[in-house]
Each structure stands twice: as structure tokens, then as C-alpha cells.
Amino acid sequence: MHLPNRRRLLKNFTLGAAGLWVPGALAEALTLTPKQTEGPFYPVNLPLDTDNDLIILNDGLTPALGNITHLTGRVTDAKGEPIRNALVEIWQCDQNGVYLHKGSDGGDKRDKNFQGFGRFLTGSTGEYYFRTIKPVAYPGRTPHIHFAIKMKGRDKWTTQCYIKGEKQNDGDMVLQGIKDETQRASVIVDFLALPDVKTGELAAKFDIVMGYTPAA
């Protein structure tokens, strides 16, 4: 896929996701997304390509292995007010269970076409969008995607999202370490097949609710 078309695809998908939000639709306080450990595999050396498409590296033509997933969501405060200009970062292991990190086991099996890390700056409605793969398990952990939120004047804030219905969730110490059941449920999301798409691509929506207002 040529880069101009790729950028157009990502932009159009983002604008479509943003259009699903209606200002003032959320009047009651939302469930705060629980903070979770960053984990040991945040990239020591960031890849040259850090955009929001983890499937294709730079101008490459060979896609990463795995179930392509369109991951969207919004970053808001507890009242649903959008937080704009928040830098959303994600990182996850590839289809072979290997992270973009020298300490990750099985480095010789790492999918060289998977970016492993991406960034997106939220817009006026707090939306973000990534094209990545459905997360897979690696020894000791249920499938998950790591998130970091970075904002001017704030410390880096981290959490993780999980697959609804995944059997390994019940035995995952990090996920089960969230004692509040409502908060735990808020980080477990559906990964559903996109309608009318024959390639088997998925969509997931993970909203992140911060414990402070955009103006704070």
C-alpha cells in the first residue's frame, strides 16, 4: 500500500470514529480507567517509524502477521469532556509473542514487519486511532495492549486493555489486581469483526477516562 493512500485511510477512519461522539451526551460521572503497571517491555530504543499504523513499516509493502485490528477510543475526564493534545502511546508483542525490546524472549522469532509501538495525538474530541493486531498471549500473561498517556505538566500515566471473553483473563495477576469490578470491566473490550469486510479485520473501542479535567 502506498503511503499517501495509507495516510488517507487512517485519517478517514479517525474522522469516522470522532463522529460517533455527541457533546453533552455524558452527564454522569464515568468510571475512571484504572492505572496499571507499565511492564518491563516499553521500548528502550524507539523504532524509526512511530506512527499509528503498526501493520506497515514506513513505505513497506509486507504487512505484519496477525489479525488486523482497528483500535479506537477517546481520552476524556470523568464527565466525558475530551482531553485534546494528549499523546497516546501503545505497545504490544507481535504475533509470535515477542516485544520490540532486547529483554523479550524469542527475539530471533520477532516479526520484523510489526512496528510494535505507535503514537497518536488526540484531537478536539479526544479521539485516537491505531491500526494494529489483535493481541496474543505470551508466557505468564493474558493477551493485552499497553497504553501510555502523556500530557504537558503531567507524569506519564499507563494502563492496559484486554480482550472480552479471553479465557486467560481470569488467571492474569495484573488484570485481577484491579479490585474494583467496574474498573476491571472497563479495561476489557470486544474485538469484533468489521461488517462487510471479507479480510477478517477487527474493530475494538477502548475509552480512557482520566481522573482530572482538561483544564487542570
Lookup: cell for 179: 479490585
Lookup: cell for 144: 493485552
DSSP characters for 143-208? SEEEEEEE-TTS--EEEEEEETT-GGGGG-HHHHT---HHHHHHTEE--EEPTT-TT--EEEE--E
Q: Does the pLDDT at position 26 exceed 60?
A: no
Q: Does the pLDDT at position 3 exceed 50?
A: no
Which residues share a beta bridge with 73? 128
Q: Does the pLDDT at position 193 exceed 70?
A: yes
The CATH architecture to which 3-18+29-209 belongs is Sandwich (2.60)
- What's the pLDDT band for 16 if we cut at 50, 70, 90? low
Lookup: cell for 102: 532486547
Q: Does the pLDDT at position 17 exceed 80?
A: no
Mean per-residue pLDDT for 186-208? 93
Which range is least confidently modeled, 61-70, 113-122, 131-140, 190-199?
190-199
Mean per-residue pLDDT for 115-131? 97
Q: Does the pLDDT at position 69 exceed 70?
A: yes
- What's the pLDDT band for 90 if we cut at 50, 70, 90? very high
Torsions phi, psi for 16 (to 5 deg):
-65, -40
Whole-number average pLDDT of the chain? 89
pLDDT tens sequence across 153-173 = 899 999 999 999 999 999 999
Q: Does the pLDDT at position 21 exceed 70?
A: no
Q: Which amino acid is at 190?
A: D
Q: Does the pLDDT at position 47 exceed 60?
A: yes
- What's the pLDDT band for 87 if we cut at 50, 70, 90? very high
High-pLDDT (> 70) share of the chain, %: 86
H/E segment holding residue 158: strand 157-163
pLDDT of residue 184: 98
